[in-house]
Amino acid sequence: MIQEIKNLKEKNNVLLVAHYYQQDCIVEIADLVGDSLELARKASSSNEDIVLFCGVGFMGQSVKILAPKKRVFMPKIACCSMARMIDDTYFDKSIEILKSYGIDEVFPITYINSNAEVKAKVAELGGVVCTSSNAKKIMDYALKQNKKIFFLPDRCLGQNLAQSQGLKSVVLGIDSKEDVILSDVICYDGFCSVHQLFKVEDIEFFKEKYKDILIAVHPECPPEVVQKADFVGSTSQIISFVNGLDDSQKVAVGTEFNLVNRLRPSKNGIQNTFVLSSTKPECPTMNETTLQDVLNSLNAIDSGEAYNEIILNSDVALKAKIALDKMLELS
């Protein structure tokens, strides 16, 4: 099957792209593997006219928005559960609630884990997209706009960023109107179900078991976990951090299982890299894509079928591009 995939890919000049959370068999055959920022940037500026994206829906959409002339297909239109927690209607409702609190102007930042319609809404209000790798830079830019920041959809990333800058954050719909009015960063109440699995108790367990162990986590983890970690970073930042450690340094990592499992395999039977959870933190939608799906997509592309092709409303895509381009310019 792998040879068939390679032949079809070459014949049709297809760039096969995979996020780090994909299954090993997909990562092994991909032309480009990375985190959401690297993939958006590199896949959209590649030479190939056709991109086959193994990841979740917003990632494929981002490539299509940034490079509208490319044809972008996905073996599975798998949707990130966090991205599904907000749409353009919920965005409008949130802005209405803020107006009813007397907050007429906000600077919106949307995490890239959101759909094109939400990115377009953010662009309409002059806001910008961020990923977990560039969120601090984007926040620094947003703070210069002298408005309250509306951060969506990931409340954890918003709260963690605010905490690291000494800013007051609240969650819309959870905290009181008075607290929202007094805050610097208003977070939408979305979250990643996978990164919610990591708990302070997991950190305590590993710290008790291995005296000098380090804890590295993704900023989608809850704030109380992030505050107790030794390192916080996006998927590629976690990879660089762990790869830079001495072979004997133990580390427990709080992010998706496939990525952690691939980091520093056991040597001479000694395991130094651990998954920071007793529950297997697998992203169900990332894990949906199989080699058979990749082959099916390539066969469809070869026979000229539009199978799971990303098609966007052109007005929405044009607006969303403004917020994504601004992010690339700032990062």
The span from the CA of 126 to the CA of 49, in Å, is: 30
Complex with ligand 13P: residue 300 or 328, whichever CB lies closer: 328
| Nearest-approach distance from CB 325 to ligand 13P, in angstroms | 18
**Which listed option, ligand SF4, ligand 13P, none, makes contact with residue 36 (CB within 5 to 8 Å by class)?**
ligand 13P
- Helix, coil or strand: residue 154: strand
**21 vs 141, beta carbon nearer ligand SF4:** 21
Nearest residue to the partner ligand 13P, using Cβ: 35
Q: Which is nearer to ligand 13P, 16 or 192 (CB)?
A: 192
Q: Which does 131 bind (CB under 5 to 8 A by kind): ligand SF4, ligand 13P, none?
A: ligand 13P
**Angle at which helices 36-44 and 57-66 pack, to 10 degrees?**
40
Binding site for ligand SF4 (CB under 6 A): 56, 80-82, 113, 192-194, 220, 256, 283, 285-286
- Least distance CB 154 / ligand 13P (angstroms): 9
| Smallest gap from residue 26 Cβ to ligand SF4 (A) | 14
Q: How near is the Cβ of 133 to ligand 13P at its closest, in Å?
A: 6
**Shortest spacing between CB 220 and ligand SF4, in angstroms:** 6
Q: How far apart are CA 289 and CA 308, in angstroms?
A: 13
- The closest alpha carbon to 152, from 179, 172, 180, 181, belongs to 172
Residue with tokens 């792998």, as numbered in its chain: 2
Amino acid, single-letter form, for residue 243: N
For the CB of residue 168, give the shortest distance to ligand SF4 in the complex, in Å.
Answer: 25
d(CA 172, CA 162): 15
d(CA 179, CA 170): 7
What DSSP element (H or E) covers 151? strand 148-152
Only one residue has tokens 């380090």, namely: 214
Pick what 81 binds: ligand SF4, ligand 13P, none; C-beta below 5 to 8 Å, kind-dependent: ligand SF4
Q: What is the DSSP string of 201-224?
A: HHHHHHHHHSTT-EEEE-TTS-HH
Q: Of ligand SF4, ligand 13P, none, which one does residue 132 interact with (CB within 5 to 8 Å by kind)?
A: ligand 13P
Tokens of 139: 């926040």
Q: Would you tell me which residues interact with ligand 13P (CB under 6 A)?
A: 35-36, 80, 113, 131-133, 192, 220, 234-235
